[in-house]
Amino acid sequence: MDTLNGTTEQRHKFTVKYRQEYYDLSNFMHKHPGGINTLKGLNQTDMTARFLKAPPHSDAAMYLMREYKISAQDYEGKKKTKERPSAAKLADNGIELLEQTKQSAEDSNNNQLDDSMEFLVDWSEAMLPQIGKITKHYDEWVHKPVDRPLRLFGPWYLEILTKTPWWIVPAFWIPSIIACGWQEFQENSHNMKGVSFTVLFSHILFGVLFWTLLEYSLHRWVFHVKLTSDSGPWLCTLHFMIHGLHHKVPFDPMRLVFPPLPGVILATVIYTPLYFILQNHHPRLILVGALVGYLGYDMIHYYLHYGSPSAGQHLYEMKRYHYQHHFAHQDLGYGISSPLWDIVFNTRIYLRKLKFQLKWA
């Protein structure tokens, strides 16, 4: 029975060797920005030569790779647990590791793995209270992704509020959008008799376009506000809470969509002044369009991380585009649902041509 179980366990693993180190990529394959077919034929092999011939990997990608490091014994099937340095062990060598990290950043990165900065925090404790203590290194640390569970708050009743399954968003917003649009038509039906459907639809379309600009603006100038080693604890903590955590743990499926409650607050703050400015131009229909745009954005964002679009589709290009934003060009590519405003504001990421189609499932 043990032999049978060991065989089954080995069959489900996807382990590789790189520069005398060993990695279990089983839980990473479907997340790999380059697709699962890029890893084809590498199981139980030394991938060093093939890896070095590939296009250079970014610092962030190389940093992420260390998350999947295992022992030589595990690679040979003699162990079943990952070997990951303890927080205490990393803390003992913390300053030395940080200096090594800065030194390695000066070199071309396709050959080396960044040394860890995770000694700065304790991953077994709530993360949010710790951010204010690492402000000097926060901006560098938050842009080095990991693949591990993240706990924001200590109390469970606060922590549960930070997690949102993707289906909650359409379940809440679709009825809200319908109700909002229906109420607008009901209250103003007597004023709409002479208004064409084209005019009404144009208001909704304007709302969608308004959202795309808002999406870009928030992502670029709020979510990616420029931080320095002198940024205060409150600013770093706020940044981590609203977007930094997504770059630190980009594969957390429960933190890929915006929770409805803060979404309602944000919509109210933005809509209130627009209502008074556009009150003679069906502002509620513009709101409907903006909410439709937001709903599309949030669903697209989740799909870009966990979906497998086919080559030739818009979402196929946007998945590649968004992964480039995460792992290579975090100061570019702010559009999620479309690169429109990246083109307008000259922050577009230019994707290289591939010799083969990527597949993520």
32 is in an annotated binding site: yes
190 is in an annotated binding site: no
224 is in an annotated binding site: yes
Tokens of 278: 């556009």
Tokens of 323: 């992964």
Q: Do residues 240 and 247 lie in contact, with contact meaning Cβ atoms separated by under 8 Å?
A: no
301 is in an annotated binding site: yes
143 is in an annotated binding site: no
CB-based contacts of 177-181 (< 8 A; 24+ apart in sequence):
177/288, 177/291, 177/292, 177/295, 180/284, 180/287, 180/288, 180/291, 181/284, 181/285, 181/288
Tokens of 190: 């007597």
305 is in an annotated binding site: yes
Q: How far is CA 180 from CA 183, 222, 285, 289, 292, in A?
A: 5, 28, 8, 10, 11
243 is in an annotated binding site: yes
3-class secondary-structure state, position 23:
strand
CA–CA separation, 234 and 95 (whole Å)? 24
Q: Residues annotated in the binding site for Zn(2+), as ranges? A: 219, 224, 243, 246-247, 301, 305, 322, 325-326
Q: Residues annotated in the binding site for heme, as ranges? A: 32, 57
Q: Residues annotated in the binding site, as ranges? A: 32, 57, 219, 224, 243, 246-247, 301, 305, 322, 325-326
